[in-house]
């Protein structure tokens, strides 16, 4: 219900009033929570502007200005704003305003502002949720110190939490009690948080590098204490890493994390009181997979790192969101790489970027990492702002080097601690620290779309000079008619074919690694001293978020796969080879795949790489990754092409796949994560062959019934179930029944069960989806649960999502329509696969578009959905 007018970056102006202190008193009750908000306001400069406060879904009880009641005729109120004209404001620059409102948390299914998650109260204020708690200057450049008194029933809500340090508490009549919190760090209201509930509490501590002791507290639903241990260890690792890597120390005496089941996003970095989707906190060996463990550590780190990059230095306005998000994602990716295999972490990050962000950047909602026009801010928590934003920071890191980057971070904090700043401020700090001119680099913040780099090579045998010409092109569209050349770091490796490909040692001096800075439309580099044309390995470490227009033949790709030093290039060459077969098969189902592929797969399986890396090497590009490289996609032909290739590899490499599967099963504790990863990729190939399908049943039986907590891990159970669902094996329904019986009481595990159910590759899927929707545990009100059917189907079941009757699109649209009434933010995220309709072949485009038109006509269309549908339907 926020304003339906778009806002523009170009219109930014500083606030006419600021707020020094906020004194909140919140008396919690399910349907009528009372909020008393006492503000100390300061007029900025000499002006006669009205004081305009944001507020939505609030019932105003009273206003008191400088201790005098403000009567209704002296202010204006509408659905989104409270306006006090200059004529009603007191003389002088400072004044106090006490606003009393009432809100209804129980009815708040949008999960923004104050809402109930199960039996607990909790808040979500980013980006503009505080205005659903009280009238306020709800913008990130208004920073105030908050004192928060929370009052509630003592039995139902023994824990009353807010930001900062606890300064007072006590009992009140009627079984009520209160706790008062004071946060000494001025903050924008989007970092405000409140939680009240009855939890189990895991406590530990961390001693900072300067010797201060910080209490660490993780609050989880009753009975889940043991499941918080991994999160606690992850937090301690994150705190230590940020001290070691960036010299950044935690600043309050207490750091709290609360896990809740009802949450729109992953987690939220509220000062001193993070609120987490329970999916990113709870894990134990029985119910979590290896990727759950990995993701929990990464999200805990991400939120912790925000304490400096986001909270101590925050954003001037929401257009600058990538200032905190791109930088913090970069930091969490570096952390994950340091904690695990940096090569595999990088590959996984690139997979996400290429499969999902590239599609966003080519779709109707494409925007620069610093958007210029926003209707609903919640629509801009995107892969572009986060993941491409992190790639932009990574390019900076590559261009100026690790030491200058660290120096730039030091400059940034020295200049801007306690302030709300811009992306330009960050880049300027990096430029000043490194002495590098980053003027052109800043274009990455204002241009959108994935640049394409065209590669041309030449070799002069007489002189031994190798010449490389690179041209760049960003998309030209109506919104971006004249894109400029970007400053792009291109890391390459030149592989000297002369050397013995069987040599296992001392290859390093034979390859040359270069960092090229592409700054013009077209640029040429020459390298001398080659007796034969070297083989080019482009984009080492994926040094820039670009697409390549570069066709390398099979021999060259095999050379890169074998001989590049850069692990990313070795992996990427393999993926290119696989992708070329997928492309051929999409256009010609009878295309004959070269048997050389089987040799390549076999040698990867037997190669000396670590097993997690091999798992990535032999995994096929996903449907989305492949789609990202095509135009006029025929989704069913693409699905069949991937299946054909998968079957071809399974048949051709079956012996080595089986041998590897068995070898991975034999190893003990050491590298068990990598072993499971490789084993399960092998299983997914083998499950395509009837003679090996017994392995899936065996693995399910063994893993799902193993109650030895030292060995149990849900990875193997889920991998077996996924194989059963993808191939629709006869044991599937029995396995799903067994799984449900075992886990029906565990919410997060049941989300996995629903997701498997929605991704079954079966002609019966629409009946099954309807059964799942009718399951007693299904509710659209819990976003994780809603996504477990709806997103799982749209993202993981391409064969039926894109079925030619259009039923898949219709299913998604029907669920979005329901969700629009319940939770607009989640509804708006669900629409992503439909708005990208223009990348598909005409028949699919039409079916998808018809659903978008139906949605556009919905009676209560939210701003969130409207912004996307408008963009998609022009
Ligand atoms: N800042 C959080 C993510 C977040 C963003 C928006 C939310 O509600 C609209 C909730 C969380 C992060 O980056 O982790
Ligand atoms: Zn973040």
- Predicted confidence at residue 709, as pLDDT, reads 65
Q: Which atom of ligand 1 is nearest to the CA of 299?
A: 14
* 293: alpha, beta or left? (left if phi > 0; alpha if psi -120 to 50): alpha
- Smallest CA separation from ligand 1 atom 2, residue: 268
Report residue 158 CA to chain centroid gap.
33
Residue 76, pLDDT score: 98
Half-sphere exposure for 71 (CA within 13 Å, toward CB): 1
Q: What is the mean pLDDT of the chain?
A: 96
Provide the 8-state DSSP code for 266: S
pTM of the full predicted structure?
Answer: 0.98
- What is the token pair recorded at 501? 């490909």
How remote is the C-alpha of 226 from its chain's centroid? Answer: 26
Give 130 Cα–ligand 2 centroid separation in angstroms: 18
Half-sphere exposure of 538 (CA within 13 A, CB side): 22
Rounded Cα distance between 93 and 599, Å, is: 78
Question: What 3-state class would DSSP assign to 185?
Answer: strand
DSSP letters for 128-176 = TTGGGTS-B--STT--EEEEEEEEEETTT--EEEESSEEEEEEEETTTE
Instruction: Report the complex ipTM.
Output: 0.99
Ligand closest to CA 376: 1
What is the whole-number distance in angstroms between the Cα of residue 297 and the centre of ligand 2?
14
Q: Please give the Cα distance from 426 to 397 (Å, whole number).
A: 13
How large is the angle between the packed helices 229-246 and 321-339, nearest 10 degrees?
100
**701: which 2 tokens?**
């039986």
CA nearest to 108, candidates 121, 94, 91, 126: 121
Bridge partner list, 614: none
Ligand 1 atom with least separation from CA of 325: 13
pLDDT, residue 508, reads 44
- The rounded Å distance from CA 330 to ligand 1 centre is 16
Name the residue of 268, 310, 311, 380 whose CB sits within 8 Å of the most ligand 1 atoms, as the mutation to test its pocket: 268
Say what the pLDDT of residue 3 is.
52
Give me the pLDDT at residue 670, please. Answer: 78
d(CA 182, CA 166): 6
353: DSSP letter: I
Distance, CA 738 to ligand 1 centroid (Å)?
A: 36
The pLDDT assigned to 503 comes to: 40
* Nearest in space to 159 (alpha carbons), one of 257, 270, 22: 257
Rounded distance, CA 423 to CA 741, Å?
51
Ligand number, closest to the Cα atom of 326: 2
Burial of 60 (0-12, 13-18, 19+ CB in 10 A): middle
Ligand 1, atom nearest to 378 Cα: 9
Choice among 56, 112, 269, 303 that is catalytic: 303
- Can you tell me which residue has the tokens 């989707």? 277
Q: CA angle 594-595-597, nearest 5°?
A: 80
CA 141 to chain centre: 25
Give strand pairing partners of 176: 153, 172
Cα separation values, 210 from 213, 248, 251, Å: 9, 11, 11
CB 82 within 8 A of CB 110: no
Q: CA-to-CA distance for 553 and 576, rounded, in angstroms?
A: 10
302 CA to centre of ligand 2 in angstroms: 6
How far, in Å, is the centroid of ligand 1 from the Cα of 125?
Answer: 9
Residue-level pLDDT at 497: 63
Tokens of 845: 């485009």
Q: How far apart are CA 796 and CA 801, in angstroms?
A: 9
Near ion ligand 2, which residues have CB within 5 Å? 325, 328
Ligand 1 atom at minimum distance from 267 CA: 14
Pocket of ligand 1 (CB under 6 A): 124, 126-127, 264-269, 302-303, 325, 378, 381
**Residue nearest atom 7 of ligand 1, based on CA coordinates:** 126
Cα(330)–Cα(301) distance, integer angstroms:
11
**Measured distance between the N- and C-terminal CA atoms of the chain, rounded to whole angstroms:** 23
| H or E element in which residue 650 lies | helix 635-652
541 contacts 491 by C-beta, under 8 angstroms: yes
Tokens 């079954």: give the residue: 760
Q: Whose CA is closest to 234, among 338, 308, 310?
A: 338
| Active-site residue flag, 867 | no
10-residue stretch averages of pLDDT, the chain, 874 residues long: 80 98 98 98 97 98 98 98 98 97 98 98 98 98 98 98 98 98 98 99 98 98 98 99 98 98 98 98 96 98 99 99 99 98 98 98 98 98 99 98 98 98 99 98 98 98 97 96 98 76 45 95 96 96 98 94 96 97 98 95 92 98 96 97 98 98 85 95 98 97 80 88 98 98 98 98 98 98 98 98 98 98 98 98 98 98 98 96
Contacts of 749 (CB under 8 A, 6+ apart): 287, 714, 743
Which two three-digit tokens encode residue 309?
């990059």
Ligand 1 pocket, mutate which of 108, 117, 126, 329 (most atoms under 8 A from CB) = 126
Which H or E run contains 325? helix 321-339
Q: Please count the CA atoms within 13 angstroms of the CA of 208 that sit on its side-chain side.
A: 17
**Distance (Å, rounded) from C-alpha 764 to C-alpha 557?**
41
Dist. CA 288–CA 278, nearest whole Å: 12
Q: Measured between alpha carbons, how far is 198 from 121 in angstroms, rounded to an integer?
A: 10
């Amino acid at each position: 219900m926020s304003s339906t007018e778009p806002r523009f970056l170009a219109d930014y102006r500083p606030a006419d009033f600021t707020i020094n202190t906020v004194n909140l008193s919140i008396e919690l009750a399910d349907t009528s929570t009372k909020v008393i908000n006492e503000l100390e306001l300061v007029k900025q400069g000499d002006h006669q502007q009205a004081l305009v406060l944001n507020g939505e879904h609030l019932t105003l009880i009273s206003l008191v200005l400088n201790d005098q009641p403000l009567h209704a005729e002296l202010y204006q109120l509408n659905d989104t704003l409270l306006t006090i004209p200059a004529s009603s404001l007191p003389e002088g620059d400072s004044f106090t305003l006490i606003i009393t409102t009432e809100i209804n948390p129980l009815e708040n299914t949008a999960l923004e502002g104050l809402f109930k998650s199960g039996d607990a109260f909790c808040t979500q204020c980013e980006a503009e949720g505080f205005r659903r708690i009280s009238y306020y200057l709800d913008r990130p450049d208004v920073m105030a110190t908050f004192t928060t008194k929370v009052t509630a029933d003592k039995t139902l809500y023994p824990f009353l939490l807010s930001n900062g340090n606890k300064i007072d508490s006590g009992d009140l009549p009627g079984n009520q009690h209160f706790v008062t919190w004071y946060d000494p760090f001025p903050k924008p209201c989007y970092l405000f948080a409140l939680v009240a509930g009855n939890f189990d509490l895991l406590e530990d501590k961390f001693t900072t590098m300067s010797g201060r002791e910080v209490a660490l507290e993780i609050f989880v639903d009753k009975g889940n204490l043991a499941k918080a241990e991994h999160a606690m260890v992850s937090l301690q690792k994150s705190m230590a890493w940020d001290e070691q890597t960036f010299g950044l120390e935690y600043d309050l005496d207490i750091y709290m994390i609360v896990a809740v089941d009802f949450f729109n996003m992953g987690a939220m970095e509220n000062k001193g009181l993070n609120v987490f989707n329970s999916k990113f906190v709870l894990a134990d060996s029985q119910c979590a997979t290896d990727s759950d463990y990995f993701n929990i550590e990464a999200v805990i780190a991400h939120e912790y790192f925000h304490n400096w990059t986001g909270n101590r230095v925050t954003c001037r306005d929401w257009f600058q969101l990538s200032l905190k998000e791109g930088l913090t994602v970069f930091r969490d990716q570096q952390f994950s790489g340091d904690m695990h295999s940096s090569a595999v972490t990088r590959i996984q990050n690139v997979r996400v970027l290429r499969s999902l962000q590239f599609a966003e950047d080519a779709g109707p909602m494409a925007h620069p990492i610093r958007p210029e026009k926003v209707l609903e801010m919640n629509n801009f928590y995107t892969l572009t702002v986060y993941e491409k934003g992190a790639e932009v920071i990574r390019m900076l890191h590559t261009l100026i080097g690790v030491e200058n980057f660290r120096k730039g971070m030091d400059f940034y904090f020295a200049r801007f601690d306690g302030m709300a700043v811009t992306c330009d401020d960050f880049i300027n700090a990096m430029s000043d620290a490194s002495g590098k001119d980053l003027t052109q680099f800043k274009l990455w913040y204002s241009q959108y779309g994935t640049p394409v780099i065209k590669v041309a090579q030449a070799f002069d045998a007489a002189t031994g000079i190798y010449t490389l010409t690179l041209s760049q092109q960003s998309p030209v569209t109506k919104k971006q008619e004249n894109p400029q050349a970007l400053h792009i770091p291109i890391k390459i490796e030149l592989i000297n074919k002369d050397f013995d490909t069987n040599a296992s040692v001392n290859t390093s001096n034979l390859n040359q690694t270069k960092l090229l800075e592409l700054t013009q439309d077209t640029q040429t580099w020459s390298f001398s001293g080659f007796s034969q044309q070297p083989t080019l390995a482009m984009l080492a470490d994926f040094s820039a978020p670009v697409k390549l227009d570069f066709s390398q033949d099979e021999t060259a790709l095999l050379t890169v796969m074998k001989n590049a030093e850069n692990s990313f290039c070795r992996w990427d060459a393999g993926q290119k080879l696989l992708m070329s077969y997928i492309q051929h098969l999409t256009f010609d189902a009878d295309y004959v795949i070269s048997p050389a592929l089987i040799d390549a797969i076999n040698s990867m399986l037997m190669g000396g790489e670590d097993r997690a890396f091999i798992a990535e090497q032999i995994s096929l590009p996903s449907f989305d990754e492949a789609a990202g490289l095509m135009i006029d996609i025929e989704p069913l032909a693409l699905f069949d092409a991937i299946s054909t290739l998968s079957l071809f590899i399974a048949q051709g490499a079956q012996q080595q796949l089986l041998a590897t599967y068995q070898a991975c099963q034999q190893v003990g504790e050491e590298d068990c994560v990598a072993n499971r990863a490789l084993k399960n990729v092998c299983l997914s190939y083998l499950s395509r062959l009837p003679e090996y399908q017994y392995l899936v049943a065996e693995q399910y039986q063994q893993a799902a019934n193993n109650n030895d907590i030292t060995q149990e891990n849900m990875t193997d159970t889920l991998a077996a179930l996924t194989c059963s669902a993808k191939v629709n094996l006869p044991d599937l329904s029995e396995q799903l029944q067994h799984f449900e019986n075992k886990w029906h009481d565990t919410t997060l595990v049941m989300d996995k069960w629903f997701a498997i159910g929605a991704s079954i590759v079966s002609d019966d899927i629409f009946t099954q989806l309807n059964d799942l929707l009718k399951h007693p545990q299904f509710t659209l009100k819990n976003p994780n649960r809603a996504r477990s059917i709806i997103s799982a189907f749209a993202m993981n079941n391409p064969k039926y999502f894109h079925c030619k009757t259009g039923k898949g699109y219709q299913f998604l649209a029907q669920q979005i329509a329901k969700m629009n009434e319940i939770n607009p933010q989640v509804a708006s995220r669900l629409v992503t696969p439909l708005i990208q309709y223009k990348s598909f072949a005409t028949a699919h485009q039409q079916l998808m578009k018809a659903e978008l038109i139906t949605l556009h006509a919905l009676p209560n269309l939210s701003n969130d959905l409207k912004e996307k549908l408008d963009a998609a339907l022009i």
